[in-house]
Amino acid sequence: MRKLWKGVRWGAFVIALTVDALLFYSSAPFSVNSFVATGLASLIMFLVFVKLANLFRGSSRIRRILEEGEVKVHETCVHWIKLVRDIRADKTAWRWIGIPVLIALVVSAYEAAWLVCLLVGKLGGGPIGGIFRLLPHNEVLVGFYIPLVFAIPFAIAHVSEWSTHRYVITPLRIIIHYGIFDYHMHGILLSRVVDAQQDYTFWEQMLGYGDVVFRETSGEAETLHCVWGPKKFAKLAVRYSHALEGASAAAKEEVESG
């Protein structure tokens, strides 16, 4: 399966490269139109393959372990900052994803500013307008999106792996799942959860992620790292934990009184 998955990723790269080559040589090679067409195609294909990779969420596996009548009440994943850290830790991926994406961001900012100036009619004068007059055809910079094609196989690998890392709350438990083919999945029974503690720095709070630590009746603690939306996740988990505790106490009281 690993070899097949590797073949799929590199197959996507070959398809994207072939499309780019066909567009480039069918649009008057090395003309402005050829660079614009190829650059836009590269950007679109990169975004499409990243979106497809993001669909790997292990949903079918999670559904299979749910008991009859058990439903998902909340689901989240690890924050995108974890994806960036994982890519940064992989030197090869960082080189082939980081550089093309950085170039694409710079080009996008430049082209957006150029289009805004065109719309407001300020290209004719001032220092800002002069910047955009350095090139006779500013749209040719769209060609700098072409390196995104080389990021596709690495982006698919990292985005799909990141997307599978899910945290799910049901009325009975918390389910943790991660992995594509070799995967890990386990649960935390909410009936054993005593409290939930949230840990995050100022910047983590601003970006909307943090760690959630669940203390259990046994005295042990389990930490869910980099949870996207930790406040809501912890609040819901504790709410259902208390609901189970209340239901258990009510059932015990009913048995004793009966």
Q: What percent of the chain is predicted at pLDDT more than 70?
A: 89
Looking at every residue in the chain, the average pLDDT score rounds to 88
Spatial separation of the C-alpha atoms in residues 55 and 69, rounded to whole Å: 25
Predicted pLDDT at 27:
85
Q: Confidence class of residue 149 from pLDDT cuts 50, 70 and 90?
A: very high
Tokens of 218: 């046994």
> Edge to edge, what strands does the sheet with 209-216 contain?
193-199, 209-216, 221-228
If pLDDT is split at 50, 70 and 90, which confidence band does 135 have?
Answer: low
Return phi, psi of residue 161, to 5°: -65, -45
Is 189's pLDDT higher than 70? Answer: yes
* DSSP annotation string for 161-175: HHHT-EEEE-SSEEE
Q: What is the mean predicted confidence (pLDDT) over 210-227? A: 92
Q: What is the mean pLDDT of residues 22-30?
A: 90
pLDDT single digits (tens) 120-131: 765 555 555 555
What mean pLDDT is predicted for residues 197-215? 93
Indicate the number of domains in the chain: 1
Nearest to 60 by CA among 180, 158, 173, 161: 180
Q: Are 230 and 81 in contact (CB under 8 A)?
A: no
Kindly calculate the radius of gyration of the chain based on its CA atoms and give it in whole angstroms: 25
Range of the domain at 113: 2-257
pLDDT at 222 over 80: yes
What would the mean pLDDT of 110-114 be, rounded to a whole number? Answer: 83
What pLDDT, on a 0 to 100 scale, did the predictor assign at position 115?
A: 77
Query: Region 50-56: what's the mean pLDDT?
Result: 94
Q: What is residue 182's predicted lDDT score, i.e. its pLDDT? A: 83
